[in-house]
Chain A
Amino acid sequence: MSGKSAIFDRGKTSFNFAGKCANDRQRMEYFAQQLINGIVLGSIYGLIAIGYTMVYGIVGMINFAHGDIFMIGGFIALISFLILVSFGLTAIPLILLIVLLVSMAITALYGWTVERIAYRPLRHSFRLAPMLSAIGMSFVLSNYSQVAQGARVKPVPPIITGGYELAERNGFAVQVSNVQIIVVLTTVALLLVFTWLVSRTRLGRDMRACEQDQTMAALLGVDVDRTISMTFVIGAALAAVAGMMYLLYYGLVDFYMGFVAGIKAFTAAVLGGIGSLPGAMLGGLAIGLIETMWSAYFSIEYKDVAAFSILIVVLIFLPTGLLGRPEVEKV
């Protein structure tokens, strides 16, 4: 399991032509390029982090299996993509749309099933029991995909190619690839839909009610079970999108990727203030940028150490994260 976190660096080189010469690093262009890369990575983290934060907000548990749901999403995107291509479909936008919908639907069902099997029986139990159950479920999911799809990394050829050159000076170009544009645009679009869902719809109202007080919500006619299930379904669907974006961006999936991505995304959720939706996105971006910048300017080996250390430092000064509500001690 060691050293696997390096998978997050692979494949990126195809879009980032920045040579790491010492003088390159001092350039504005180099910084701009890293900024773009960081935002893209942060978007993926943010999408996963939303799932953590939603579940935490409503049932107050760390859904350790969420990272593996993201991994399953990546696999399903990969498999459905392969099938569509082998059926002779060539229109890339159509393929992407179908892959997106299929992976969201099936992964959402995984989220639903995990909640139904492993968490619902423990809903009113002691706090550590659902957490351990979630860790168990995480082992189950990652091992399941190892058994079902094999342990080897699954590469795919670049599906979306090309990009734009934003600026060029003295042979150094700031580039943004089409994949990066798609990742960021999809994230923004989903966030808008999701914000609308939570703030404007009946389901969103029910979710917020359950977050405040489940008993009261139930008394007022909110179907708590259904609302919680829907939270897991939505979280899993967003994780599936993240999985698909990961596949497009890095061009590979493997059964182990859920662990590292999950921990990073959870770190992002906590950094932003767990329970807060804008916080999750902000935390995702922060972790993405910290990692990218650290790799670019200091050392690629210690990028995760940097991300985790900054988390610890932030929490020392802001014990409930960047956007978390400060906990008022009731005496």
Chain B
Amino acid sequence: MSGDRTDRILGVDQLTMRFGGIVAVNELSFDAGRRRITALIGPNGAGKTTVFNCITGFYKPTSGTIRLTHGAAEIALERLNDFRIAKQAKVARTFQNIRLFPGMTALENLMVAQHNMLMRASGLTLLGLIGAPSYRAAEKRAIDLASFWLRRIGLFERADDAAGNLPYGDQRRLEIARAMCTEPALLCLDEPAAGLNARESAALNELLLSIRAEEGTSILLIEHDMSVVMEISDHVVVMDYGVKIAEGTPQQVRDDPKVIAAYLGADEEEAIAVMESDT
């Protein structure tokens, strides 16, 4: 376990998820540190995305607890359902297979992310309908925040293009920017580097590091790309067959024989990637 309680943002304890007879996640416990980048790795089918879906409320865990610490307050995520996790607990996520709103522009995607703030400002639509100045000011702030993130991911010039028309790498970054527009405390990224080339992957590293440094957002990520995991993670949790088999710094994990065995058993290429990824 890394750090003491005040230092952690997320505490997963004895998390178990069963689908019928299949145990996808079995008594998994780990912590994610505040202002830290925690990586969840493991071979295909290890149950990583299931853990994510439990944390972000898409699945209801069979048993176990998931605690999110906001200052002194603790929120039991396993008791909140779907949208409340993003709205009240401020946990944002991206998806393995990008889920943007393809028919809406990049800017609109980021505006939708600020829905709850804008809904309040629009007086549940009524103030907005009559064009109240307070709503207009809020809308302008929302556009400014969106523009800020579009600049940050280098898509300002394409703000008015449909999200579905953007190149794959841009879509990945836009999805992260959209999650950031909800101003989350914890950002969960499901394989953010999947399908990216080396250059895009490096740019992603930079973006995530700057999010941690400048926004102070804690990040939890699932990743197969070891160059990303090893380079930016502060803490790595390794899963196999639904259980945790190792955790520690990237260095510790890389040298752990159990990890190497798990990857060797699953996929030779990935095992080699783990072993060869220096720095």
Binary per-residue interface labels of chain B (39-56) against chain A in the complex, 1 for a CB within 8 Å, 0 otherwise: 000000000010001000
With an 8 Å Cβ cutoff, the count of chain A residues facing the other chain is: 2
Closest Cβ–Cβ distance, residue A127 to chain B (whole Å) = 15
User: Residues of A at under 8 Å CB distance from B?
Assistant: 329, 331
Can you report 5 A-B residue pairs in the complex whose CB atoms are below 8 A from each other? A329-B58, A331-B49, A331-B53, A331-B58, A331-B95
Output the least CB separation between A157 and chain B (Å): 57
Interface residues on B, range: under 10
CB B112 to nearest CB in A, in angstroms, measures: 18
Cα distance A329–B82 in the bound complex, in angstroms: 13
Give Cα distance in the complex from A329 to B49, angstroms: 13
Which residues of chain A are within 8 angstroms of B58 by Cβ–Cβ distance?
329, 331
Q: How far is the CA of A329 from the CA of B57 in the complex (A)?
A: 12
Residues from chain B with a CB closer than 8 A to the CB of A329 are: 58
Q: How far is the CB of B38 from chain A (nearest CB, A)?
A: 20
Nearest B residue (CB) for A329: B58
Residues of B within 8 A of A (CB): 49, 53, 58, 95
The smallest beta-carbon distance between B50 and chain A, in angstroms, is 10
In chain B, what residue has the closest Cβ to A328? B19
Instruction: Find chain B residues with CB under 8 A from A331 CB.
Output: 49, 53, 58, 95
CA gap between A329 and B95 in the complex, in Å: 13
Among residues of B, the one whose C-beta sits closest to the C-beta of A330 is: B97
CB distance from B86 to the nearest CB of A (A): 13
Query: Of all chain A residues, which has the CB nearest B59?
Result: A331
A7 vs chain B, min Cβ distance (A): 45
CA distance A90 to B49 in the complex (A): 71
Q: How far is the CA of A28 from the CA of B95 in the complex (A)?
A: 59
* Minimum CB–CB distance for B138 against chain A, Å: 31
Query: How close is B198's CB to chain A, nearest CB, in angstroms?
Result: 28
Complex CA gap A298/B62 in Å reads 44
| Chain A residues near B49 (CB-CB < 8 A) | 331
Roughly how many angstroms separate A331 CA and B190 CA in the complex, as a whole number? 10
Residues of A within 8 A of B95 (CB): 331
C-alpha spacing A331/B53, complex, angstroms = 8
Q: How far is the CA of A36 from the CA of B259 in the complex (A)?
A: 66
CA distance A331 to B58 in the complex (A): 8
Least Cβ–Cβ distance between B18 and chain A, in angstroms: 14
Bound complex: CA of A331 vs CA of B98, how far in Å?
10
Within the complex, what minimum Cβ distance (angstroms) separates B271 from chain A? 28
> Which residues of A sit under 8 angstroms from B53, Cβ to Cβ?
331
Nearest CB in chain B: distance from A327 CB, A? 14
How distant is the Cα of A331 from the Cα of B95 in the complex, in angstroms? 7
- Taking the closest CB of chain A, its distance from the CB of B29, in whole angstroms, is 23
Task: Give the CA-CA distance A331 to B96 in the complex, in Å.
Answer: 8
Roughly how many angstroms separate A329 CA and B58 CA in the complex, as a whole number?
9
- Cα distance A331–B49 in the bound complex, in angstroms: 9
What's the Cα separation between A331 and B94 when bound, in Å? Answer: 10
What's the minimum C-beta distance from B170 to chain A, rounded to whole angstroms?
22
